[in-house]
Structure 1
Amino acid sequence: MSFLDRIEETPGAGALRATSYELLGLSPGDTVVDVACGAGHAVAELVASGLKVIGVDPDPDAIAAARARSTDGMFHVARSDELPLEDESVDGYRAARLFHLLADPLPTLIEAQRVLRPGGRIVLVGQDYGFLLLDGTDQDLTDVVLLGLESRTPAPRAARSYRDLLLDQGFRDPEVAVHNEVVTDYAQLTRQLESAATAAVEKALITRQDADEWLADQADRGRHDRFLAILPTLLVAATR
């Protein structure tokens, strides 16, 4: 949970969540479900805006943290493809950082369509790992390491397909927005860089020596204020 908290408390995370709320376009008193709600940052903010909010996550620890953060939200431990909600029972559906974890997005989208009322709004939020930009002294090696990062999830490039997925499922009038977070603080991404390098070694894309030298270069760039990463997040909204 500390990892999820760190993600949600980064400088650009609040602005990203706010953009997703604007795309939902809901009014006080409306009901929204936040699927894969994690530690409940969005649930707490949506409750504070006057909405009735349901947080859903398959991780009991995440739900416990979310309940502690917002006593006025409703919460369920459940999967995204088995929502414990009635048909056409919510006005809004939000899912952030979910679809890159799904080998097959269709069951989750079918559930979203089922629980949304006609005219309800859906917003999908996620990074497409194929779009990440990371500067490096050896840029070719850096690009290969980023392929290692992609290998850590079932669908690392799912976000670029959000619009198609929603249209194919019968949602209408999709809107696409992109939120870019610029990171110049090496410490903010240290764990992710180490994970990417390790994955690239495990996939035999690079050697362990390559990984160690690359990590040393990134650390050195951080010490000399030369670290740069740009993390684009796609937001796609549509109407049922």
Structure 2
Amino acid sequence: MSVLERIEERPRAAELRAASYRLLGLGRGATVVDVGCGAGHAVADLAADGLKVVGVDADPAAIEAARTRVPEAMFHVAHSDDLPLEDASVDGYRAVRLFHLLDDPVPTVAEARRVIRPGGRIVLGGHDYGFVLVDSSDQDLTDVVLLGLESRSPAPRAARSLRDLLLDAGFHDVEVVVHTDVVTDHGVLTRQLELAAAAAVEKALITPDDADGWLAEQADRGRQDRFLAVLPTLLVGGRR
């Protein structure tokens, strides 16, 4: 949870959340469910804007943190394909940073359509790890390390299919917005880079020496203010 909280507390993360709310387009008094709500940052934002918010996450620790952050909101520990909500009971549905964790996204989108009222709005979003860029003196090695990063998720390139998923499920007026996060502070992504390199070694894509050298170069870039990573997030909105 500490890693997720640090990610959500960065200014660019707040900008991404705001972009998703604009795409959602709901006014005060509307009811919205945030699926995969994590520690409740979006729930807090939406509640502060006067919406009635339900937070859902499969992780009990996340829900505990979210309840602490927004005690006035309603929360459920549940999976995205089995929501404890009535049919056509919400005006809006939001799920960001969820679909790369799903082996099969279709039941989750079907469940979303079930709980959204006719005319209601949906916003899905997430990183497409196939588009992540990290600058390096050895770009070929970097590309292999990033394959290690992809191997840590069941569906690392799921975001590029979100538009198709909504259209296939019968949603209308589907639009795509790209939010790009440019990171020049090595410390922000140090842990993620270490996990990516370790995964690439575990998958026998690179050697431990390759990993150590690559991580050392990235740390050195950080010390010299030469670190650069670019992480696009796709936001896809539609109408029920």
- Please classify the TM superposition score into its range, dividing by the shorter chain length: over 0.9
Deviations for 1:44-96, whole angstroms, at most 9, x for unmatched residues? 11000000000000111111110111122110010001100000000000001
Amino acid at match of 1:227: F
Map of 1:55 onto structure 2: 55
Displacement after TM superposition at 1:198 (Å): 0.4
Amino acid at match of 1:82: D
Map of 1:42 onto structure 2: 42
Superposition map of 1:113-124 within 5 A = 113-124=113-124
Map of 1:78 onto structure 2: 78
Map of 1:136 onto structure 2: 136
Map of 1:189 onto structure 2: 189
Map of 2:235 onto structure 1: 235
Matched, 1:226 2:220: no
Alpha-carbon distance in 2 for matches of 1:72, 1:29: 15
Map of 1:165 onto structure 2: 165
Alpha-carbon distance in 2 for matches of 1:206, 1:4: 28
Q: What CA RMSD, in Å, does the superposition of the two structures yield over aligned residues?
A: 0.5
Map of 1:215 onto structure 2: 215
Alpha-carbon distance in 2 for matches of 1:13, 1:128: 16
Amino acid at match of 1:170: G
Q: Secondary structure at the match of 2:148?
A: helix
Matched, 1:4 2:43: no
Displacement after TM superposition at 1:11 (Å): 2.4
Deviations for 1:139-191, whole angstroms, at most 9, x for unmatched residues? 11011100100000000000000100100110111110000111000000000
Map of 1:154 onto structure 2: 154
Displacement after TM superposition at 1:4 (Å): 1.0
Amino acid at match of 2:18: A
Map of 1:204 onto structure 2: 204
Displacement after TM superposition at 1:125 (Å): 1.2
Amino acid at match of 2:167: L
Alpha-carbon distance in 2 for matches of 1:65, 1:114: 28
| TM, length-normalised to structure 2 | 0.99
Alpha-carbon distance in 2 for matches of 1:182, 1:206: 26
Deviations for 1:8-64, whole angstroms, at most 9, x for unmatched residues? 012200000001001111011110000000000000110000000000001111111
Q: Secondary structure at the match of 2:11?
A: coil
Map of 1:91 onto structure 2: 91
Amino acid at match of 2:88: E
Deviations for 1:99-152, whole angstroms, at most 9, x for unmatched residues? 000010011011000000000100001000000011001111011100100000
Paired positions, count: 240
Alpha-carbon distance in 1 for matches of 2:76, 2:16: 24
Amino acid at match of 1:54: V
Q: Secondary structure at the match of 1:12?
A: helix
Map of 1:25 onto structure 2: 25
In the TM superposition, structure 1's runs of 4+ consecutive aligned residues that sit over 2 Å from their partners are none
Q: Secondary structure at the match of 2:221?
A: helix
Displacement after TM superposition at 1:5 (Å): 0.3
Q: Secondary structure at the match of 1:206?
A: coil
Deviations for 1:171-222, whole angstroms, at most 9, x for unmatched residues? 1111100001110000000000000000001111100110001001101111
Displacement after TM superposition at 1:98 (Å): 0.3
| TM, length-normalised to structure 1 | 0.99
